Structure 1
């Protein structure tokens, strides 16, 4: 049986905000990652994937173009 770790972890992704390119704080909990940009207020649930080159951060649905 796989045990889920109940620890909350906080990270900062440099230039990670998809709207304003500010540093993006990300909190990872047992329910998954969530992020809120302190600069522009964007919030979402980034998708974090482990690759052979490290972590890849993406955003489901992409960005709507105005």
Structure 2
């Protein structure tokens, strides 16, 4: 299945040296490196993306 992310936007947490963009997919989200877009992206289902966002908001990665 081919995924075509849309609506790419830069993370508000990105800095000049660490930038990521998030795009919508029909089933979740896609993430890519802003400085190397040609490297591609990875995707997550809506459930995976929600679990990731929950983990970030609850400081599980600090």
**Bigger relative contact order, structure 1 or 2 (CA pairs below 8 A, ≥6 apart):** 2
Query: What's the TM-score, normalizing by structure 2?
Result: 0.39
Normalized per residue, the structure richer in helix is 2
Normalized per residue, the structure richer in strand is 1
Query: What's the TM-score, normalizing by structure 1?
Result: 0.37
